[in-house]
Amino acid sequence: MNSKPQYFYGIALAGFLGLFTLMMLWPTVLSPATHMPVALMLLITVTPLLLPMRGMLAKKPKSCAWMAYISLGYFIHGAIETYANAGGRLYPALEVVLSLMLFFGATLFVYFSGKTA
């Protein structure tokens, strides 16, 4: 059995769990939003991660591919927020790193778990 897909799945899973935790804690505990309700912020930031979560946890390549696509939105948000917000760059930079872990881990998991002839 090839261990490469499992290695990349571990990276993707770490990125997913970290991003999910960050998106849950950022608008609630770390830096609560004052201009929007917290429930709406959680709905906007966490729901996209929940859609392919079940398939990703079951190691389904199709769900991992969708998770890679979804992570790009988090990368864009983190990059823009890091650039625009000079006062607090830690959380957006962490969002960028975790979304890249999720993207590359999920993409390489799908690539290496494909059928070999």
Domain boundaries, the chain: 4-112
pLDDT reported for residue 117:
38
Q: What percent of the chain has pLDDT over 70?
A: 96
Task: Kindly report the number of other CB atoms within 10 A of residue 27's CB atom.
Answer: 20
Whole-angstrom Cα distance, residue 33 to residue 28?
A: 8
Would you say the pTM of this structure is higher than 0.95?
Answer: no
Q: Residue 81: is its pLDDT beyond 70? A: yes
Tens of pLDDT, residue by residue over 24-65, are: 998 898 888 788 898 898 999 999 999 999 999 999 999 999
Contacts of 113 by beta carbon, 8 Å cutoff, 6+ apart: 5, 9, 59, 61
pLDDT band at residue 116, thresholds of 50, 70 and 90?
Answer: very low
